[in-house]
Amino acid sequence: MSGRHQRDGVRGQITDRLRTLPDAPNVIHATAIVGRITAAGGRAIAVGGDVADETAMAQAFDAVGAAFGGIDVVVNTAGIMLLSPIATLDLADLDRMHRTNIRGTFVVARLAANRLRAGGALINFSTSVTRLQFPGYGAYVASKAAVEGITEILARELRGRDITVNAVAPGPTATPLFLDGKSDEEIANLAKAAPLERLGTPADIAEVVAFLAGPARWVNGQVLFANGGIA
């Protein structure tokens, strides 16, 4: 996704839930993305922090504003997915998803509402499972339904600011969040479920984000379902 934005001329930061160790996986991943962007002639910085921590996120916004002279686009992809039937869900898992998926979205959205410049865009992330209603996804879907509510209301609260607020709701997409814990048979069945008969790719979702971040100035307060027609 960052690579697509770089091709579109969008400068920005890579924010991740970085750990304290310098060789932690998230640090390595974020640093590698920055390296690819800069090698291609773009500009990027990596900023660490927990999306649910308002102080850490304020510092991240400060760093980006200082590095690039302001903020025009915020893409809030942070999320976790812990699956279980509602009847047996560990409430600690519910709290973890609430902290990242709901509080994290709210913290970033609040900062974006105060920091984005006119002509800017905030893009949150929901899920197509809000329509598919797969068993075992109850708590996750509840957290993403909250994201959709935040998105739709904030778009209206920013009336007159020339800032769009939308959400992308991917369907089954070949990312670690989706693939982890699923058998090859489960993945194959989900790939066949969409009329296009394949899983989505990160590039597919990046195209939708790039549309919302750039030319889609008349799309506001919407949830765009990018799922190959599965729902």
- CB of 230 within 8 A of CB of 194? yes
Q: How far apart are CA 24 and CA 177, in angstroms?
A: 18
Q: Single out the catalytic residue among 61, 106, 137, 140.
A: 140
* Annotation marks residue 140 as catalytic: yes
Name residue 206's amino acid.
Answer: A
- CB of 149 within 8 A of CB of 172? no
Q: Which residues are catalytic?
A: 140
